[in-house]
Chains A and B, each alone.
Chain A
Amino acid sequence: MAAEAPARPRARPPRGGRGGLRHRLAERGVDRVLLLLLPAVLIVGVLFLYPMMYGVGLSLRPKDGGGLLGNYTAFFGDAYQRGTIGNTLRLAVPAALINVGASVPIAYRLRGRFRGRRLLTAVLVLPVTLGTVLVADGLLRYLGPRGWLNRLLLDAGLIDQPIRLIYNYWGVLLSLIITGFPFAFLLVLAYLSGIDPTLERAAATLGAGPWQRARRVTLPLLAPGLATTFVLAFVLAFSVFPSANLVGEPAGETRVMAIAAYQAAFEKYDYSMASTIAVLMGVFELLVISFTLFLRGRLYAGPAMGGKGS
């Protein structure tokens, strides 16, 4: 990797001056190649870091006065606003857990080679292309009181009146599962394919049954990948903005933090409060991620690639 850098350093011992400094820097990996990094870091700095800092600063300058933490105390003091934290977590955590949890057995079955494997994978991944609006519209039509599902259940005599699955928590959760599952599934399948199958065969030779093999060999090896997948699925579900508005109850049960932030910014033009909510969103999201990574650290069971080497 760094074969170039230490190629010549000993020939001319650094003796101070410009050439010497350059050599000493090169030994630590600092040379002109790093200039290639500069544009990307600059762009991310200007378009991400600066706005974030600006946002944090803005959140500390409340529109209506009230001290540095005025916005934060206002947010936590208002039960309607404070409730958005719970609403968001109540949607994002189960959605991510369900998506990752359902992916494991399906990916497990899809690992081997059999006819139609590629087709089935493609069918399971294709919902990515639906877009939240089509999913939302579809949920409203299909699950609505006069939709096909309720009609079918009514005609079959299973229910007396239509079940309510839209304009509430369940609609949003279903939408998050439909749009989030393909991502989770793809990642889990990838991580599972990365586990060396000889490890399982070795366990079978030692007399482990299929259930034991899954529980004692495959799952521990998969754990780090599952944690990563959960984090990414959670990030995806955490900003449920469009579906919470379209199939949820945006004034009540599914008033998530993203809606609160959007309303503050573009309906009340209180950019200071909006930044406050955005900052809090980031904080709560990173808290869940750190907790997941902490758990992953405790579960980690060694590299999944076995002794493949070559």
Chain B
Amino acid sequence: MTAVSFMASRRRALAGWAVWGCVAFFLLNLAALILSVVVNSFGTTWFSGWLPQGFTTAWYADAWKEFALGEVLQVTLGVTLAVVALSLLLGVPAAYALARRDFPGKRLVLLLLLLPVLLPPITYGIPLATVLYKFHLAGTMTGVVAANLVPALPFVVLVMTPFVEQIDANVESAARMCGARTRQVFSRVLVPLLMPGILAAGILVLVRTVAMFELTFLVADADSQTLIVALYSAAFTPGIRAAQAIDAMAVIYMALSAVLLVVALLFVNPTQIVAQVKEATAE
């Protein structure tokens, strides 16, 4: 090994360690940050010092009762499942049409579907809330589901289109030759072949909807708010509730969405979705 290449490999190793060092520093601080919330949610009082004076689980019981978490979770579940079901039901056929046909005005339709993904939710959330209030839909479950459908439906269409493109159209033609009608082609051929994509899109919409704060916040009232909105409302009006109870609720939220994410990662390799989109556009 020459001196030059030795120096080069030394420098490369050093750069590698620098990157890992930064990652470790970031993760260490992040862990401390999360831990401080978890510790506080189990602490009795914590005015100063490294740790609270005592530990208790009472704040979790408190949070559950005071914030009516049972009801909130029910609403969250209902809203999320409705959004997932509707966005798949409407989005998958639309993705099929977009993948199989080239028609005048296709670019316009694509733009319409791209905008809700590219604009921050608040920009369309405020006009949408205004319209929903006008039609007395704000504050109802219908209104919350409708608002959350705006980013979810285009998301499903955009994720599903490359999945459909990967299925050979000849498979459908063959099914038709064997006498299958359109409905049967869909239910017996396309849906089974598309299942991985449908599953991926559904799970991603689920995770996104649970985390969607702005839209639900703008159109929901006390009876139709999801967990993330209830959490924010509690955190934003400090003094009324104990800080530890709010932290307990934040930990509950974190646990719930961590479980969802882990489930999602078991079914979906998130890096593959982008790669598939990429292959489709590269052609």
Interface residues of A, Cβ cutoff 8 Å to B? 1-5, 28-31, 33-37, 39-41, 43-45, 47-52, 54-55, 58, 102, 105-106, 109, 122-139, 141-143, 146-149, 151, 178, 186-187, 189-191, 193-194, 209-210, 225, 231, 235, 238-239, 241-242, 245-246, 258, 261-262, 265, 271, 274-275, 277-279, 281-282, 285-286, 289, 303-305
Contact = CB atoms under 8 A, between A and B. Distances in A.
Contact of B228 (A36, A131, A241, A265): A131
Given A109-B20, A126-B261, A138 B36 contact: yes
A225 B281 CA distance: 12
Contacts of A210: 8, 12
Interface string B239-273: 00001001100110110011011000100001111
A178 B120 CA distance: 18
B14 interface: no
B109 interface: yes
Secondary structure type dominating chain A contacts: helix
A117 to B, nearest CB: 12
Contacts of A105: 19
Given A44-B153, A106-B19, A265-B126, A54 B131 contact: yes
- 8 closest A-B pairs by beta carbon, nearest first, are A55-B127, A40-B94, A239-B120, A190-B274, A36-B93, A190-B271, A138-B33, A29-B103
Interface stretch (B54-62, B63-71, B230-238): B230-238
B120 A289 contact: no
B116 A44 contact: yes
A191 B274 contact: yes
A98 B231 CA distance: 28
Nearest to B125: A278
Nearest to A279: B123
Contact of A33 (B23, B32, B101, B118): B101
B197 interface: no
A131 to B, nearest CB: 5
A241 B214 contact: yes
Nearest to B113: A44
B141 interface: no
A134 B270 contact: no
B195 interface: no
Given A4-B169, A190-B272, A239-B123, 12 more contacts: A1-B169, A28-B103, A35-B97, A36-B97, A133-B231, A134-B253, A137-B250, A191-B274, A225-B278, A241-B122, A262-B122, A265-B126
B199 interface: no
A131 B33 CA distance: 13
A40 B120 contact: no
A139 B29 CA distance: 10
Most buried by A among B50, B101, B258: B101
A110 to B, nearest CB: 10
B250 A235 contact: no
B130 A190 contact: no
Nearest to B51: A148
Nearest to A186: B270
Interface string B191-234: 00000000000000000000101100000000000001001100
B251 A134 contact: yes
A47 B12 contact: no
